[in-house]
Amino acid sequence: DLLEYEHFVDSDTASIPIKATAEDPGAKIIINEEVAQIGVSEKVIDLSKTASGEIKSVPISVESVDGYTTNYIVLIKKLSTYLQALTTDIGTITPSFNKEVETYSTSFISESNTIVITATPEDENSTIVIDDIIGQNKSISVNINETKNVTIEVKNGASGSRTYSLAITHKPSNNSYLKSLSFNPDNLAPPFTPIETDYIYTYNHSLNQATVNWAADHEKATIDIIVDGISQRVPNSGSAVLPLPNRDIAVSIVVTAEDTTSIKNYKISGKYTKCSDNSIKDLKSSWPITKINDTTYKFSFNRDTLEGFVEVTTNCEYASIRINGQTLGSHIVRKTLTLEPKDTTISVDILAENGNV
């Protein structure tokens, strides 16, 4: 007595046979509006042009010998076993999703070990099973440096199913940035930014050490500080005293990410500024001495005081002192002299650390 029927087939079904048998062996049967047959009719229905999710309507007419007609209809629906989309909340799957492709991979970098898969079926009536758990979403736990293979099965309302696979790799962090870097005294240029890796730190003879403070941006990154080729492993964040000799130095702060392959080298060129002061702080002599100007002094002696000394002290402790053409030392120098009994000039030259006389 039912006049309408439904039949479900898999989405890749190209054709299906329908056989209709009349209750009256003499009745005419017409399937899909084609040639009538008596008693029994069998027809192969072409589904090649019926897309997944579409319905193919197949009319069946039965005409009795007395001319009475009953019309039936069979609704054939293709049920998809395809996914419409496959995504993760972190990272991107490769290759780009194509429902015909069944094998994928993805990787992610995260402090959390959890990644969420979302599998959307092409047919909303399909059932999704992810690693034996029914549902379109599933959280997957993957440890760092681990790869986990996940299966996603699509089951339709017929007997069909399709299985996709997704290999998920949890990669270690590739963050090799410094979060902060500072010097005290603060002579660093340019001002620190995590992206900039080349800096200059200037200092002079008055500064013999500086305090360096640093912190890596990622807690699992490692840091090595290299000063003039000598390397030392230091904590992820901390501070240290940097000796400053009277010369240029080269400092590198090397940050190695958790993945051990991503490395960033922050280079600090220590530039020593030589003292330019070539002035005299104090001038002493065993002979009476009178200052005429900044560079000229007058002294007096007699035959009883031909032997004496001159003592020179410079303002800059790194300035060299030359008396009568002889370089004697730096900062404080005393020279004993024996003079001729005549007017005499004593030459005192101050050579600054930067070469100025």
pLDDT tens-digit series, residues 14-35: 999 999 999 999 999 999 988 8
**Element (H or E) spanning 182, and its range?**
strand 178-184
Sorting pLDDT into bands at 50, 70 and 90, what band is 322? Answer: very high
Strand partners, 225: 232, 253
> What's the burial of 282, exposed, middle or buried (CB within 10 Å: 0-12/13-18/19+)?
exposed
In the predicted structure, residue 53 carries a pLDDT above the cut 80: no
What is the C-alpha separation between 125 and 80, in angstroms, rounded? 9
- Residue 65 tokens, joined: 């010998």
> What's the burial of 171, exposed, middle or buried (CB within 10 Å: 0-12/13-18/19+)?
middle
Q: What b/e readout covers 59-78, taking b as 16+ CB neighbours within 10 angstroms?
A: ebbbbeeeeeeeebebebbb
Sorting pLDDT into bands at 50, 70 and 90, what band is 267? Answer: very high
Which pLDDT belongs to residue 290? 92
Residues 83 and 117: beta-carbon distance below 8 Å? no
In the predicted structure, residue 273 carries a pLDDT above the cut 80: yes
Residues 273 and 203: beta-carbon distance below 8 Å? yes
What is the C-alpha separation between 40 and 26, in angstroms, rounded? 9
What is the C-alpha separation between 41 and 351, in angstroms, rounded? 120
Radius of gyration from C-alpha coordinates of the chain: 47
- Residue 223 tokens, joined: 């840091």
Q: Is the peptide bond before 95 cis (omega within 30 degrees of 0)?
A: yes
pLDDT tens-digit series, residues 87-142: 999 999 999 999 999 999 999 999 899 999 999 998 888 899 999 999 999 999 99
* DSSP calls for 257-287: -TTSS-EEEEEEEEEEE------EEEEEESS
pLDDT tens-digit series, residues 168-214: 999 999 999 999 999 999 999 999 999 999 999 999 988 999 999 99
Residues 41 and 29: beta-carbon distance below 8 Å? yes
Which pLDDT belongs to residue 27? 93
Residues 224 and 266: beta-carbon distance below 8 Å? no
